[in-house]
């Protein structure tokens, strides 16, 4: 059983260079939340807030993020939920489960943007997503991490 982790949250405009332990920083301006991995490995976890990524719930006292946070690109491969400032650990996932979720996330994002893409032909985001994936370009999450200067494992 993992240790009980309780987080504090700070609403900021800009993410600080050094992150306090057990603190999640939320920038509404940049629609991003960042924290150090809750397992203690020290990796920065970037969660972009958008209709196709994570959703932040603030009840006036605590925050929750949905969906779960799967740090499958990190050596720790930790997987957890953040609900009411508390970390709830989840089971480890197999490579097949991770691949299936990544494919479904890409499909859902493409469908979302296709529905909301005005003035352009249907399927243009899907086509762009397939092209980017085939060329091995960075995902939106990776681009945000790069922009923020966050190192991610390959």
Count of CB atoms within 10 A of residue 143's CB? 12
pTM of the predicted model as reported, rounded to 2 decimal places: 0.70
Give percent of the chain with pLDDT exceeding 70.
Answer: 75
Instruction: Tell whether the torsion through CA atoms of 37, 151, 57 and 62 is positive or negative.
Output: positive
Q: What is the pLDDT of residues 16-72, one digit of tens each?
A: 999 999 999 999 999 999 999 999 999 999 999 999 899 999 999 999 999 999 998
In whole angstroms, what is the distance from residue 6 CA to residue 23 CA?
A: 9
Instruction: Give 103 or 135, the one with higher predicted confidence.
Output: 103
Question: What residue ranges do the domains of the chain occupy?
Answer: 8-92+141-148, 95-138
């Amino acid at each position: 059983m993992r240790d009980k982790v309780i987080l504090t949250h700070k609403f900021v405009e800009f993410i600080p260079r050094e992150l306090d332990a057990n603190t999640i920083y939320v920038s509404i301006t940049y629609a991003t939340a960042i924290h150090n991995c809750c397992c203690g490995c020290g990796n920065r976890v970037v969660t972009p807030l958008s209709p196709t990524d994570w959703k932040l719930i603030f009840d006036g006292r605590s925050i929750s993020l949905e969906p779960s946070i799967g740090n499958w690109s990190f050596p720790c491969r930790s997987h957890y939920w953040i609900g009411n400032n508390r970390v709830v650990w989840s089971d480890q996932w197999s490579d097949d489960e991770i691949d299936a979720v990544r494919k479904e996330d890409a499909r859902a994002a493409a469908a979302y943007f296709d529905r909301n893409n005005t003035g352009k032909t249907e399927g243009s985001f899907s086509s762009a997503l397939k092209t980017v994936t085939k060329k091995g370009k960075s995902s939106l999450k990776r681009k945000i991490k790069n922009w923020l200067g966050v190192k991610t494992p390959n």
